[in-house]
């Protein structure tokens, strides 16, 4: 299993910002990120909550009611 922990490299040392998930000896992989990579905003995925508000879309009042097609499977 991989775990990512933020830290800073300075004067030949890596200073972690979080406590590692183990106190035993473990191999690590260190990645060096440029300031541009850190500042880059990740691509937006999916639909933003509220993005269709006021655009003619609505949820029916019976949205959470059981479906008649599935009534044979209900208790």
- What secondary structure does DSSP assign to 6-48, as a single string? -EEEETTEEEESS--S-SS----------HHHHHPPPPP-SPP
- Closest CA relative to residue 28, chosen from 36, 40, 16: 16
pLDDT of residue 6 exceeding 80: yes
Q: Which residues are paired to 16 by β-bridges?
A: 7
pLDDT tens across 38-65, in order? 787 777 777 777 777 778 888 889 888 8
In this prediction, residues 8-12 reach a mean pLDDT of: 92
Q: Identify the residue with better confidence: 10 or 48.
A: 10
- Cβ-contact 14, 8 below 8 angstroms: yes
* Eight-class DSSP state of 65: S
Predicted local confidence at residue 15, as pLDDT = 93
Predicted local confidence at residue 47, as pLDDT = 73
């Amino acid at each position: 299993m991989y775990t990512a922990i933020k830290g800073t490299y300075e004067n030949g040392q890596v200073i972690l910002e979080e406590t590692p998930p183990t106190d035993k000896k473990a191999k690590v992989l260190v990645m060096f990120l440029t300031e541009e990579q850190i500042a880059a905003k990740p691509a937006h995925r999916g639909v933003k909550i509220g993005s269709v508000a006021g655009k003619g879309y609505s949820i029916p009042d019976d949205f959470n009611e059981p479906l008649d097609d599935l009534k044979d499977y209900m208790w």
